[in-house]
Structure 1
């Protein structure tokens, strides 16, 4: 048994604790606390975010970091690709006119026609020479002309006189066909018109030419088509000289009411009966001081007379 003094102390302690209890109602129960799961058993947050393709066997947190690094590398690669695309765009914008120029010049070089001297049929040439002699023209045959670039005459002649007593000054090199039409025009049109319009001037003695064969482009231009003069098909008439000393110069005469004006207009109009092309001072500035005649053949027998 406990000593009596110990019992008295125990009893006094019981009385004190009973006095501290509330007067009504039961004692409140403490709210149960939920047990925390051990961290080791919790599912890692990265496991939910990591896709099967990103998961690396045998790695935990290190695998997620590697995946993030791969994503960053992919982003960098995308940025590099974008920068390359921008550089390409800048280069294409910086030189937009270079490629079109190459495309334009190449087809032009390929499309350039090869100019050659047209051969003349021997039989036709012989007939032309015979007809020219029959009209009384004087000339001589000269060697074939080939100046390159399509300039030249296969069977050229050097014409001295157009008709008996009517000189060509200076002498002109041309094809026989050109000389023949010049002689016919002079005989059938110029002589009758001069006799009617200029009876006091006397017989025609000289047809003054400004150009026969010459290797050049049309109207002496720097670019364009080759002139018919370069093929021996053309002759330019600058004036007419008569035995009495009078000279009729070719000039703009559309409003000239004199007999000289009538003479020029008459022989110009008649020129289209013999030549396929007739250009006078009224056609353009390049022909203000001469008549251009040529025998260029056109489709369906078309003639250009202005």
Structure 2
């Protein structure tokens, strides 16, 4: 009996390694069928649009990969609460949305500009809504960013969780930010989408075969 213990431990270790690899063990965690990875090239380097540093290519061997990842700390004059790891193609639409939609909407609603945003998520190798067996999230391509709050010059923080159904100024600002993001991103999800998005705006560049957008 004493000699069987190492055999059992070796078998357990083999199972654990299989689960952590890019083999069929990970297929039960999320699906990648039908998904299209983003391109590595982008027309404008993120470092021209904000504080950004290029990272080494990410490929976890299980479907999660970022062709041209950058660590972004700001876009324009808007700081991030934490560094966001994003594929290079996300930088330009994020910058344009912030400059052309978010800032004008903040001026109209509050009479001041946004100086920072709370980044709830960027690159993350996981299934959609963290549901095991679902398709891989666009976060797994570095193709998405979640924003949960906007901080104004005065220090006032407008959160998606409280502001979406809060005062008129916050409701108007967040609705405008959400709706106009649909022109820059392929997918935009907010509190009206489902409970998983009650506290943030999800913005991504999912490559759909029909080239369509999904905004809710």
Deviations 1:241-289 (A, max 9, x none): 1121100000276654511111011110001010000100111011010
Contact 1:117 1:151 in 2 (8 A): no
Match of residue 183 from structure 1? 95
Deviations 1:116-144 (A, max 9, x none): 994735xx33x231xx455x412111101
Match of 1:151 among 64, 69, 72: 64
SS at match of 1:301: coil
- 1:238 paired with 2:154, answer no
* Distance (Å, rounded) in 1 between the aligned partners of 2:52 and 2:78: 13
Match of residue 137 from structure 1? 50
Match of residue 210 from structure 1? 120
* Distance (Å, rounded) in 1 between the aligned partners of 2:165 and 2:38: 43
Unaligned runs of 5+ residues in structure 2 are 1-26
* Distance (Å, rounded) in 1 between the aligned partners of 2:134 and 2:199: 22
- 1:225 paired with 2:135, answer yes
Instruction: Provide the TM-score with structure 1 as the length reference.
Output: 0.57
Match of residue 39 from structure 2? 120
Deviations 1:60-118 (A, max 9, x none): xxxxxxxxxxxxxxxxxxxxxxxxxxxxxxxxxxxxxxxxxxxxxxxx99xx8679994
Match of 2:106 among 194, 199, 202: 194
* Distance (Å, rounded) in 2 between the aligned partners of 1:192 and 1:238: 19
User: Larger helix proportion, structure 1 or 2?
Assistant: 1
CA gap 1:255/1:170 in 2 versus in 1, 3 angstroms: closer
* Distance (Å, rounded) in 2 between the aligned partners of 1:119 and 1:295: 8
Match of residue 206 from structure 2? 296
SS at match of 1:300: coil
CA gap 1:244/1:298 in 2 versus in 1, 3 angstroms: same
Higher relative contact order (CA 8 A, sep 6+): 2
| Alignment RMSD | 2.5
Q: How does 1:63-142 map to 2 (within 5 A)?
A: 118=37, 120-121=39-40, 124-125=41-42, 127-129=43-45, 132-134=46-48, 136-142=49-55
Match of residue 268 from structure 1? 178
Instruction: Provide the TM-score with structure 2 as the length reference.
Output: 0.79
Contact 1:238 1:250 in 2 (8 A): yes
Unaligned runs of 5+ residues in structure 1 are 1-107
Asked which structure has the greater CA Rg, the reply is: 1
**Which stretches of structure 1, 4 residues or more, deviate above 6 A after TM superposition?**
112-117
SS at match of 1:222: coil
CA gap 1:255/1:194 in 2 versus in 1, 3 angstroms: same
* Distance (Å, rounded) in 1 between the aligned partners of 2:83 and 2:123: 11
Contact 1:117 1:152 in 2 (8 A): no
User: Larger strand proportion, structure 1 or 2?
Assistant: 2
- 1:166 paired with 2:69, answer no
Shift, 1:196, TM fit: 0.3
CA gap 1:255/1:207 in 2 versus in 1, 3 angstroms: closer
* Distance (Å, rounded) in 1 between the aligned partners of 2:32 and 2:212: 24
Match of residue 247 from structure 1? 157
